[in-house]
Amino acid sequence: MFLEVAGLVVRLIYSIVLMLVAPLVWFGMGWRARKTEGDWGIFAAERFGCFPQPWDGRPPVWVHAVSVGEVRAAVPLIQSLLLKGDRVLLTHMTPTGRAEARRLLAREISDGQVRQQWIPYDFYGSMNRFLRHFSPRLVILIEREVWPNLVHAARVRRVPVILASARFSERSARQTRRINQIFGGLLRDTYSGLTKVLAQTPEDARRLFDAGAPDVSVCGNLKFDVTLPVVAVQGGQAWHERIARPTVVIASTREGEDARFVPLIAEQVRQPIEPAGVPPLFVLVPRHPERFDQAAGLLDSHRLRYVRWSMIRDDPAALDDVKEMEVILGDTMGELPFFYGASDAAIVGGSFEPHGGQNFIEASAIGVPVLVGPHTRNFRDAVISALQAQALVQVNDPEQALMQALQWLREPDQAHQIGMAGKSWVATHVGATARISEAIATLNPMDDQGF
Domain identity same for 125 and 92: yes
Within-domain flag for 446:
no
Q: Are residues 418 and 435 in the same domain?
A: no
Please give the Cα distance from 227 to 337 (Å, whole number).
Answer: 10
- 291 and 200 belong to one structural domain: no
Tell me 199's DSSP state. Answer: E
Residues 6+ apart with CB under 8 A from 366: 228, 233, 337, 340, 341, 423
* Length of the chain (residues): 451
| pLDDT value, residue 2 | 46
Q: What is the domain range of residue 394?
A: 230-428
Give 138's strand partners: 61
330 assigned to some structural domain: yes
Q: Which residues contact 323 (CB under 8 A, 6 or more apart)?
A: 243, 244, 245
Is residue 320, in this structure, part of any structural domain at all?
yes
What is the spatial distance between Cα 332 and Cα 158, in angstroms, rounded to a whole number?
A: 42
Q: Closest Cα to residue 223, out of 425, 442, 62, 370?
A: 425
Residues forming beta bridges with residue 139, ordered by sequence position: 62, 161
Total number of domains constituting the chain? 2
For the stretch 297-321, what's the b/e string if a residue is b when 16 or more beta carbons lie within 10 angstroms of its beta carbon? ebbeebebebbbbeebeeeeeeeee
238 and 292 share one domain: yes
Question: Residue 53 domain-assigned?
Answer: yes
- In this structure, the answer to whether residues 270 and 383 fall within a common structural domain is yes
Q: What is the pLDDT of residue 284?
A: 98
Q: Is 115 a member of any domain?
A: yes
Q: 274: domain CATH number? A: 3.40.50.2000
Which of 105, 113, 107, 129 has the alpha carbon at shortest distance from 48?
129
CB under 8 Å to 121, separation ≥6 — which residues?
A: 18, 22, 47, 48
Neighbour order of strands in the sheet with 327-329? 306-308, 327-329, 281-286, 247-253, 345-348, 370-372, 393-394
Q: In tens digits, what is the pLDDT along the chain, a chain of 451 residues?
A: 545 656 778 888 999 999 999 999 999 999 888 877 778 999 999 999 999 888 888 899 999 999 888 999 999 999 999 999 999 999 999 998 999 999 999 999 999 999 999 999 999 999 999 999 999 999 999 998 899 999 999 999 999 999 999 999 999 999 999 999 988 899 999 999 999 999 999 999 999 999 999 999 999 999 999 888 899 999 999 999 999 899 999 999 999 999 999 999 999 888 888 777 889 999 999 998 889 999 999 999 999 999 999 999 888 777 777 888 999 999 998 899 999 999 999 999 999 999 999 999 999 999 999 999 999 998 998 999 999 999 999 999 999 999 999 999 999 999 999 999 999 999 999 999 999 999 988 875 544 443 3
Q: Which of 348, 345, 102 is nearest to 246 (CA)?
A: 345
CB 195 within 8 A of CB 159: no
| Positions marked active-site | 70
Say if residue 17 is in the same domain as residue 108. Answer: yes
Q: Checking DSSP bridges between strand 393-394 and strand 345-348, what pairing results, if any?
A: unpaired
Whether the CB-CB separation of 394 and 383 falls below 8 Å is answered with yes
CATH of the domain at 44: 3.40.50.11720
- What is the rounded distance in angstroms from the CA atom of residue 216 to the CA atom of residue 208? 7
CB 451 within 8 A of CB 155: yes
User: 88 and 30 in one domain?
Assistant: yes
User: Do 177 and 264 have their domain in common?
Assistant: no
Could you tell me if residue 356 is inside a domain? yes
pLDDT at 212: 95
Residues 79 and 189 grouped into a single domain? yes
Q: Please provide the DSSP assignment of 21-74 as one string.
A: HHHHHHHHHHHHHHHHT----TT-GGGGT--SS---SSPPEEEE--SHHHHHHH
| Residues 60 and 129 placed together within one structural domain of the fold | yes
- The reply to whether 196 falls in a domain is yes
Which residue type does 159 have?
A: V
Whether residue 48 is contained in a domain is answered as: yes
76 and 130 belong to one structural domain:
yes
Residues 251 and 205 occupy one common structural domain: no
